[in-house]
Chain A
Amino acid sequence: MSPDFAQLFEYFLIFIVLLFITGLYCVLVSLSLIRILIGIEILIKASTLLIILAGYICGRTALAQSIVITLIVIEIVFMVVAGGVVLWAFRHTKTIDPRKLSDLKG
């Protein structure tokens, strides 16, 4: 790997890891189900960036783009289904606070 590629890779990797930490923090600490979904979105965006970066460095941009296009389709459907579950939770328990969801223990 040529030296400026290596430096590029390092820079990008640091930012991607920071993005992962941000997303994970959001998922763990939020008090609203919808914000947890936003955190998951940020995590998936970081993975998308990692895939595109990998494609760029090894020269396979076409394959990486096909993967990312399919991934975005999966992401939409996942968010729609997750939104549906949050709506159902709201209609049932009148709150979107994840701490109040635990009616199952054991």
Chain B
Amino acid sequence: MPSALILAPFLSLIILNLPPKKIMRKIVFGWVALLLVLQIFLVVAVPVTLWGSAPDFLASFFAFELSVDALSRLLLLSIGIVVLASLTVAQYVIKDQTQRFNFTNLILIVLIGMNATVIVTDLFSLYLFIEITSLSSFILISIQKDNPAIEAAFKYLMLSAIATVFILSSMAIFLLLSGSTSFAAVSGTFKNPANATLVQIAAGLFLCALFIKAGIFPFHGWLPDAHSSCPTPVSVLLSGIVVKASGIYVLTRLAISVFIFGPAVQNVLMFIGASSIVFGATACLTQSNFKRLLAYSTVSQLGYMVLALGCFTPLALAAAVFHLFNHAIFKSLLFVNAGAIEKQAGTINMDKVGGLAAKMPFTGTTSVIACLSAAGIPPLAGFWSKLIIILALWDAGHTIYAGIALVSSILTLAYLLAIQRKVFFGKLEQTLTQIKEAPLAIVLPEVLLATITIAIGLDFPFVFNNWILPLKEIVH
């Protein structure tokens, strides 16, 4: 059954590009949306044990080695939600029908790439699908030709190529030492003390590559440009899930099942995570472009996840993944709001807009909810994940890092509330008195994402028992 997650989008891709063009272009949105809703439904409804043991009749034809466990399940859910939000926003932002068709096809490819990344069990296949996701992201960044995202696309391309070279070298060393590239074989090499130096070098190379892909502090160069200068649905996709599925998820999976981190590596991870948090938060204070500020905020929140991963206790790991899910929801919501403002007001420069709350009630309210969730205010979802991260750090004895996380949380609250005040409250600009609320295509995902944030925050015990505790099981 896991192979259905990658074969269904593939078949859709082929069928949607077959001859009757007019009919296909009309139904493409409905079809893909249905596929995503089906994915979300399957992930929520089918318990983890059933995924592996369901009769996979396709297995007789294809020898895919896939496995779905609690970590993959949570990621699959977030992939489904964010891609659906991105698809819906695209109906409004991208006006040209041909471009929208190309966009939907590319989203299907990104979906295949990310679904496969979270369920494979082999290092080379993992690299292959990460590369598929990156390739389709380059094309997506360049999809609206009149938008000067050139520097962003090229920087992303270069840094991604360097990450590729690191991953390949690392994989060559693992191949040398273990004779195979599957997760089981690679984790076997860590247990053999004879090869220790070479294994550490290979693991270090792989980690550097993942930091580049995830956009963590020393290697974040491509992230602000790429996320702010591409069209809104692409920003939603990139910041909401691509950066996380191909960066943070892979880091988590390797930390749990494959690599064995000594205390030195854990300290390095925590240091890099903490510097990411502080750098992202301070860089946000000087931005006047809304989307660029959100991109730096992504760097900061990813730092939280890496910090929790470095701490490496079961509670911290579970908290990191939960924060990943929450961030996917509230960051997508913030980008959708940014897109609504950009389309309706014509600009995303925060110094030029103001007082939009009266004219755009839905956008304003959902934006406030997203900001409060990002900053970690109860009872929204972001509060719980940040609380557990800080508690886990305190528990494990890293009091300085817990303090940094707490202070940066306050800083996050400060800049987010500042932009809220600037953009939504305050005086309405003269040129913007004719502004109206965005149409249903944007309001609907906004409301849905906000509802999810509130629901998870309020219903936290249920979420904790069904989704977070199983994560702790995998670690042991």
Direct contact of A and B (CB under 8 A): yes
- Which residues of A are interface residues toward B (Cβ below 8 A)? 20, 27, 33, 36, 40, 43-44, 46-48, 50-51, 53-55, 57-60, 63-64, 67, 70-71, 74, 77-78, 81-82, 84-86, 88-89, 92-93, 98, 101-104, 106
A101 shortest CB reach to chain B, Å: 5
Cβ of B446 under 8 Å from chain A: no
Q: List 22 A-B contacts (CB under 8 A).
A: A44-B168, A47-B165, A47-B168, A47-B169, A47-B172, A51-B175, A53-B172, A54-B172, A58-B175, A58-B177, A63-B175, A67-B124, A70-B124, A77-B135, A78-B135, A84-B139, A85-B153, A85-B157, A92-B145, A101-B154, A103-B150, A106-B287
A43 shortest CB reach to chain B, Å: 5
User: What CA separation (Å) do A103 and B225 show in the bound complex?
Assistant: 10
User: What CA separation (Å) do A10 and B303 show in the bound complex?
Assistant: 39
B176's nearest neighbour on chain A, judged by CB, is: A54
Whether A51 contacts B292 by the Cβ 8 Å rule is no
Given contacts A54-B175, A93-B150, A106-B286, 15 further A-B contacts (CB under 8 A): A44-B168, A51-B168, A53-B172, A54-B173, A55-B175, A67-B124, A70-B124, A71-B168, A81-B138, A81-B139, A84-B139, A88-B153, A92-B145, A104-B225, A106-B224
Which residues on the B side are within 8 Å of A77 (C-beta)? Answer: 135
Cβ of B324 under 8 Å from chain A: no
A33 shortest CB reach to chain B, Å: 7
Which residues on the B side are within 8 Å of A57 (C-beta)? Answer: 176
A16's nearest neighbour on chain B, judged by CB, is: B169
Which residues on the A side are within 8 Å of B165 (C-beta)? Answer: 20, 43-44, 46-47
B175's nearest neighbour on chain A, judged by CB, is: A54
A97 shortest CB reach to chain B, Å: 12
Whether A98 contacts B168 by the Cβ 8 Å rule is no
Taking each of B157, B287, B289, which has the highest tally of chain A beta carbons within 10 Å of its own beta carbon? Answer: B157
User: What CA separation (Å) do A40 and B156 show in the bound complex?
Assistant: 13
Q: A67-B181, A74-B128 are in contact. Are A102 and B292 (CB under 8 A)?
A: no
Which residues on the A side are within 8 Å of B180 (C-beta)? Answer: 60, 63
A73's nearest neighbour on chain B, judged by CB, is: B128
